């Protein structure tokens, strides 16, 4: 294959890997299951992934599961056994050991502190200490929300490493413009999803998902090579995010999640899953969806 074809092939494989991991976080799986899903050999998949990343595929799988465990520990009242079940670990002891090896602290500490100074949340907000972060989450602010039930739908789009994003990212992703054109016809809405953890993923590894939310999954083209992620079915808290600068929009979402859920516990979650649907137009705000349970 020529270089451009090779790059596109590698990207498709990485998309399939990310899609499988995201959709199967509660299961116990490894590279063999991913190879079967992507229809390539075990060694070829591992080599392709390693050529494009600073970590092995096995380490990536473990890291994503542990970051997911950290989010569940921080934002839900689930105990360690329940979190182990939700992240594909055999026992709470195996989870606790892997967690401490990766983060350098216990899962219990994640319930008391959700800030990591090399995370995107800390870097973008200029947070350098726990005290500074607590000052932010302790403050009061006005908000409006509603509850709704979503019976189905899909998030379709692409991820990119945030540090490598540029104003022209839309044009660089195959078929994304076709996807976004659906929003003009009113058949879908633009969507941003935190694909990793804003607090527990190091900035160097952080990815953001951008695409559409569509209730009708049949509208995706057969040749679509991005990620197709079925949403969680159930009840959501839907917070109004006012129009403003993108930094202001980010701060609103941070306060909803960190202040209302983690610190003040105004809302109690049994799982953690969220996404942001944008109103039409740049910086026009939107609605932040936070899953509360099936």
Strand partners, 277: 191, 287
pLDDT digits (tens, 9 = 90+) for 50-106: 887 888 999 999 999 999 999 999 999 999 999 999 999 999 999 999 999 999 888
Nearest in space to 17 (alpha carbons), one of 35, 41, 1, 29: 35
Q: What is the pLDDT of residue 4?
A: 47
pLDDT band at 2 (very low <50, low <70, confident <90, very high): very low
Average pLDDT over residues 123-133: 78
Instruction: Say if pTM beats, i.e. exceeds, 0.85.
Output: yes
> Between 280 and 281, where is the model more confident?
280
> What are the respective helix, strand and coil percentages of the chain, to the nearest 5?
45, 20, 35
Kindly give the residue spans of alpha helices, DSSP state H, lying in 152-245: 176-184
**Residue partners of 218: CB distance under 8 A and separation at least 6:** none
> How far apart (Å, rounded) are the C-alpha atoms in residues 196 and 205?
8
Using only C-alpha atoms, the chain has a radius of gyration, in whole angstroms, of 19
pLDDT digits (tens, 9 = 90+) for 192-247: 888 778 888 887 788 888 889 988 877 777 777 788 899 999 999 999 999 888 77
Residue 57's H or E segment, with its range, is helix 57-75
Average pLDDT over residues 134-149: 91
Note whether 223 and 176 are within 8 A (CB): no
Neighbours of 290 (CB within 10 A): 23
């Amino acid at each position: 294959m020529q270089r451009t074809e090779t790059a596109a092939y590698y990207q498709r494989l990485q998309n399939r890997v990310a899609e499988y991991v995201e959709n199967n976080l509660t299961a116990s799986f490894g590279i063999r299951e991913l190879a079967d899903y992507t229809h390539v050999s075990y060694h070829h998949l591992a080599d392709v992934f390693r050529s494009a990343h600073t970590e092995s595929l096995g380490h990536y799988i473990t890291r994503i599961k542990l970051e997911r465990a950290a989010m569940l520990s921080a934002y839900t009242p689930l105990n360690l056994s329940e979190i182990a079940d939700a992240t594909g670990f055999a026992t709470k002891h195996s989870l606790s050991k892997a967690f401490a090896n990766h983060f350098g602290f216990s899962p219990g500490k994640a319930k008391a502190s959700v800030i990591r100074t090399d995370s995107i949340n800390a870097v973008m907000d200029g947070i350098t200490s726990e005290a500074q972060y607590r000052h932010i989450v302790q403050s009061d602010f006005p908000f409006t929300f509603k509850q709704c039930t979503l019976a189905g739908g899909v998030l379709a789009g692409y991820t990119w490493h945030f540090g490598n994003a540029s104003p022209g990212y839309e044009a660089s992703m195959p078929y994304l413009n076709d996807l976004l054109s659906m929003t003009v016809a009113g058949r879908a809405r633009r969507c941003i999803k935190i694909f990793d953890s804003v607090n527990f993923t190091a900035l160097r590894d952080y990815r953001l998902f951008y695409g559409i939310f569509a209730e009708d999954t049949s509208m995706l083209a057969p040749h679509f090579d991005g990620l197709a992620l079925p949403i969680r079915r159930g009840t959501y808290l839907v917070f109004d995010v006012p129009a403003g600068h993108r930094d202001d929009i980010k701060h609103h979402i941070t306060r909803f999640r960190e202040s209302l859920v983690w610190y003040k516990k105004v809302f109690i979650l049994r799982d953690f899953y969220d996404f942001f649907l944008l109103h039409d137009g740049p910086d026009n705000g939107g609605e932040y969806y936070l899953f509360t349970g099936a």
